Amino acid sequence: MNNTRRATLIWSLGAVVFSLIGVYIALNSNGAWYSIVSAVILLLAGAAFAARAVLSLRATGA
């Protein structure tokens, strides 16, 4: 496995993990403002990881 495909896999897994944790916290926040803020931050991190995964995938030429 070359480095660009491995980097794409790592960025993609990071996006999935951050997004799933963010959604879980958002669904179980019970209206607490700090839980909502942390869920938004985690979802933004997931979006950033997903964007980086797309850029990495485009660099592979796939």
Tokens of 57: 């995938």
Look up residue 5 and give its amino acid.
Answer: R
Give the pTM. Answer: 0.86
Q: Quick check: 62 pLDDT over 70?
A: no
Q: What is the per-residue pLDDT across 10-51, written as a single tens digit (0 to 9) for each?
A: 999 999 999 999 999 999 988 899 999 999 999 999 999 999
User: Running DSSP on this structure, what letter comes out for residue 2?
Assistant: -
Residue 26 backbone phi and psi in degrees, to 5:
-65, -40
CB 53 within 8 A of CB 5: no
